[in-house]
Amino acid sequence: MTSLSDPNADAILFGNRFVTQEVPSREFPDTGMPPVDAMRLVAEDLALEGDPARNLATFVTTWMEPEAQRIIAENLHRNFIDHAEYPRTAEIEQRCIRMLANLFNAPGETTGTSTQGSSEAILLGALSLKWHWRKRREAAGESTANPNLVFGGDVHVVWDKFCRYFDVEARVVPLQPGKYTIGPDDVRPHVDENTIGVAAVLGTTFTGHRDDIVGINNLLLEIKETRGLDVPMHVDGASGGFVWPFLYPDSPWDFRLEQVRSINVSGHKFGLVYPGIGWLIFRSKEDLAADLVFEENYLGKTDATFTLNFSTGSAMVLAQYYNLVRYGRAGYTYIMRNMQANADQLADKLDAMGRFELIGRDEEQLPLVAFRLAGDEGYNEFDIAWQLSAERGWMLPAYTLPPNAQDETIMRALVKETLGQSLVETLARDIAEACETLDQKGGLHHLDRQRVKTGTGY
Ligand SMILES: Cc1ncc(COP(=O)(O)O)c(C=O)c1O
């Protein structure tokens, strides 16, 4: 029988000893604990985590169908890279690549790869641009010492990361006050014989708009004709790659444009899969630099890999395939239109409050609302973000834009599948109430302001 004076026995019988003791956090634990205790310990920490459904900052999927979740749960034990052992998973990856190439209007046979997300896809795509450029230069007997890559200040940080990690000069076109994307006139002065490529964004992290991809394509065609330089374009469709084909099918940005040679898209954003899955798709097989593909003999079979990682999970590749066949074009179109309709509703409500200016609402945009205070209210957008979070737990980001628009602040609400019509109404009301509180009490104390999160969210 358990004794009242035996705390260990009581802990075994009644629960976790970490209820009253410090949790393991520095030293590798000498002893373990029963599984239920470990589960409770982790769950207790996670109780303090933000609620993804109220995270209006993230582009990443926060809800999937139960059937998709079942596929994920049933395939967590399969290592994706083991193509020899799991050939059907490898085949399913290839199916996804072919379907995405088809969605992006590839003219013929193509190639690509699944990745952890758009960041890995961008690093690989940009490496291919560099390898191709170097080969061209070597063949012409020219120097390969100073490669450069041209992109706007509206890109995600991974583009700067690529340049730093892989020794390429970043030729960044700065943004301007009121101008948050780039076009051909911005790109023209930066392109020369050392340009490995131009990166353009479809659905920027900052405002959800696209660069003038048609205009940049025309510029690159002109440069090819007049200067004999064949400069490829990579489109960063991390978010937009799964939005434009369904909301703006007649707006060309993909392989319909001749200079677009590679595209990345995050399956875990508007591809509607949980993190982490991304895709890199080439226009044609020739657009992937052959030297980057490793032929290896692994577990007795020759395999070709083009990744920065090796072992990784299969589950999200399978979940992506589930979504592609489950929704098809009709389903994705229906879901994207719903998100857009709810984003429009939220925009209307914010507009009607008379306090806010909506940013680029009439342009092609991701299903989100980007806005800022229209006048001087005695408080700012960071104060609203803080107040809204304190009152209702919404995570609505406020952030300043990259140079040279760094004096401009924006708020941005993603409208995803988890933000239905009634929650849109609640959110709008909560924003109005947060502003009313601030009307009465004024802006935040400077100590609070220092603690406001200022990132865009991803
Ligand atoms: C335009 C853009 N490119 C790249 C990325 C990086 O994507 P991932 O998080 O899938 O690596 C993001 C993330 O928000 C993005 O918005």
Determine the Cα–Cα distance for residues 111 and 9; give it in Å rounded to an integer.
Answer: 60
| 207 pocket-lining for ligand 1 (C-beta < 6 Å) | no
Contact 411, 372 (CB under 8 A): yes
CA atoms within 13 A on the CB side of 359: 26
The model scores a pTM over 0.85: yes
Determine the Cα–Cα distance for residues 241 and 263; give it in Å rounded to an integer.
Answer: 8
Angle of helix 66-74 relative to helix 315-353, nearest 10 degrees, comes to 140
Measured CA to CA in angstroms, residue 422 lies from 78, 378, 425, 429 at distances of 40, 30, 5, 11
Return the DSSP state at 452: S
Task: Name the one residue in this structure whose structure tokens are 């659905």.
Answer: 203
CA dihedral sign of residues 306, 152, 398, 396 = negative
Taking the centre of ligand 1 as the mean of its atom positions, its distance from the CA of residue 156, in whole angstroms, is 6
φ, ψ of residue 316 to 5 degrees: the values are -75, -30
| 349 pocket-lining for ligand 1 (C-beta < 6 Å) | no
Identify which of 122, 205, 273 to mutate to test ligand 1's pocket (most ligand atoms within 8 A of the CB). 205
Contact 415, 343 (CB under 8 A): yes
**What is the full per-residue pLDDT of the chain (458 aa) written as tens digits?**
545 667 778 877 877 777 788 888 999 999 888 888 899 889 989 999 999 999 999 999 999 999 999 999 999 999 999 888 899 999 999 999 999 999 999 999 999 999 999 999 999 999 999 999 999 999 999 999 999 999 999 999 999 999 999 999 999 999 999 999 999 999 999 999 999 999 999 999 999 999 999 999 999 999 999 999 999 999 999 999 999 999 999 999 999 999 999 999 999 999 999 999 999 999 999 999 999 998 877 666 667 789 999 899 999 999 999 999 999 999 999 999 999 999 999 999 999 999 999 999 999 999 999 999 999 999 999 999 999 999 999 999 999 999 999 999 999 999 999 999 999 999 999 999 999 999 999 888 887 777 777 777 77
| 59 pocket-lining for ligand 1 (C-beta < 6 Å) | yes
| 270 pocket-lining for ligand 1 (C-beta < 6 Å) | no
Q: Tell which residue, 27, 26, 63, has the closest CA to residue 323.
A: 63
Q: Which two tokens stand for residue 389?
A: 């979070």
